[in-house]
Amino acid sequence: MKKIIIALTTVALAACSGPAFNPESVADATAEQVTRVEPLSWWTGMKMPLQLLVQGENISEYNVTIEGGKGVAVEKINKADSPNFLFVDVKIAANAAPGTYYIVFSKDGNTFKYPYEIAAREDGSAERKSFTTADMVYLIMPDRFANGDTSNDSTENTVDKYNRDDLFGRHGGDLKGIIDHLDYISGIGATAIWCTPLLEDNQPMHSYHGYACTDYYHIDSRFGTNDLFKEYVQKAHEKDLKIIMDIVPNHCGSKHWWMEDTPFADWYHVFDTYTGSNICFSSNMDYNASEADLYYHESGWFDRSMVDMNLDNPYVLRYFQQWAIWWIEWSGLDGFRVDTYPYNEKEPMAQWCKSITDEYPDFNIVGEVWTSSIPQLAYWQKDNANKDGFNSNLPSIMDFPLRDAIEAGLPNDNGGWGQGLAAIYDIVSHDFVYQDMSNMLIFAGNHDTPRIGDIVKKDPARLKIANVLLATMRGYPQIFAGDEVMQTARLPHDYGNHGALRVDFPGGWPGDEMDLFTAEGRKAATKNTDGLAVPQGQAEDLLNHFSTLFQWRKTKDVIHNGKTKHFLSRDNTYGYFRYDDDEVVFVYINNSLENKNVPWTYYAEISEGLTGGVDVLTGEPFEVSDATVVAPKTAIVIEYKK
């Protein structure tokens, strides 16, 4: 069994003083007796009941009590299949005092204690706000963003070492690098940050992405520490930036500590030979689907190195519920992004979502549901009118169908049936399927898809069109770090060379010449770190366009909550309006290779009487009419007050 000592300093809250307890005859627990207690700490006033996972050599032979004051007591002791685990249900009364309590283990006259912190919950914690349609989410892959602390590029307790020359190696980016560039992130118009997973991923190779977690309660030492993560959240909040944590309840890494000795035989899905998921999303809602197809979809592994967790085991489900709540309460998180959402067992995940929103009613959770099928995507959003009566309790979903339409439509020079921008019109025309078409994350690319710079074939004009779409359409936009300056992949993208598109952001690396974090660096840029030609001044021009749009979007309720009216065309143009009782925003995109006149009269049902327009991108007055000509590969955004 792997022996790990949890340092009390990771859970102690100095401001709390517990009830008096002085068990002089009781020895402190040693590493051999108790190797792990999770969650690392807890709070008074929580709705989620506390169930402690306790690991230790033959710990199941011990009786367990809690000492230290009134109001906290052991309610039930649950034994696991392994003798080295106990699951202890703890009752925390409404009048329980915050402070340090002691878990006391007793057997045959042998008694030892383990300190456990139960803190006072912060005022207003349950009422915390989350990310909404008013936000723009900036997606960062921490290992590839900025290296703020070279001392943790490789660490003693992790096996995958620093190798920046390897596309799939550790490049040294870390939390300090993100903290150092919070002003840049805020300055370009972002209001929230989603980092790919920061928890320990101690796989022997390809660990840089973080999606094979090996310890759910500790930040990877190559990124920093738990305390530094909390500092990151606090400093981001000082800049009015929200923090979204990327989490993976579906699977863990094959080198997770519990793989050496799992609490239960069905802690994860076990097969005689490696069995991958059949990726049959439809089996979740298909009336005709076989039980076998659903089983192998949910239970098959995502990858050989990613062990599929069994959320039908109630102890596994409770573990992940408490883990999520612990990170919210302990660090001050503002939201979750859940990886590979439909691969999980759907009913337990619905309980998982509900446990979080019961604790934090305004907390937003966005699920990765990677499907081009709009009805299948809509099925996963909370309160959708599903014929089978299933309610996921998942507030938000990622709009992959819109992303697919952007990828297909933007690089297309021709219009026509379903081509060019008509493909985007078609996706928006299906909004009637969604329970809440606004609470959806919209994006042109992320860490798993081709970069938008590659999609538009390194064309700055069409990148600007993508920015306009994301800044003005329904939903809340997500931008992958580097896309704002048209960063591109090192190699042509396919789904086997993710390392090539997850390139280092130019600027956060000691010794590198390029620095696109600064205006001076952008103006001087003649190429990016991957050797692709970038005309001088292009990076600065692109970022100015980007920042103008998204800084403007921050305060535009008409974009956050307004309705949409769009008009069909088959000439590779797209005209639409976002409107409410006070404002109208008109967007016209000419994605063709010819000048186009705006068909203002055709839009009369909403355009009639609109005067006093202002060009959002220039701040200058702009009156639209049938005589208005929009140049090839150009978008205009005009706002009106009613």
The residues assigned a catalytic role are: 339, 368
At 617, the amino acid letter reads: L
Helix (H) or strand (E) holding 133: none
Smallest CA-to-CA distance from 516 within 507, 529, 527, 528 is with 507
585, containing H or E segment: strand 583-590
What is the spatial distance between Cα 145 and Cα 181, in angstroms, rounded to a whole number? 10
Task: Give which of 27, 40, 39, 29 is closest to 3, Cα–Cα.
Answer: 29
Burial of residue 406, with CB atoms counted within 10 A of its CB: 0-12 exposed, 13-18 middle, 19 or more buried: buried
Beta carbons of 85 and 60 less than 8 angstroms apart: yes
For residues 345-355, one letter each, b for 16 or more C-beta atoms within 10 angstroms of the residue's C-beta and e for the rest, the string is bbebbbebbbb
- Separation CA 230–CA 219 (nearest Å): 10
What percent of the chain is helix, strand and coil (3-state, nearest 5)? 30, 20, 50
Residue 617, CA distances (Å) to 38, 576, 634 in order: 51, 17, 12
Q: Is 393 left (phi over 0), alpha (psi -120 to 50) or beta?
A: left
The CA-CA-CA angle for residues 221, 252, 366, to 5°, reads 90
Tell me if residue 525 falls in helix, strand or coil: coil
Other residues' Cβ atoms within 10 Å of the Cβ of residue 185: 21
Contact 207, 254 (CB under 8 A): no
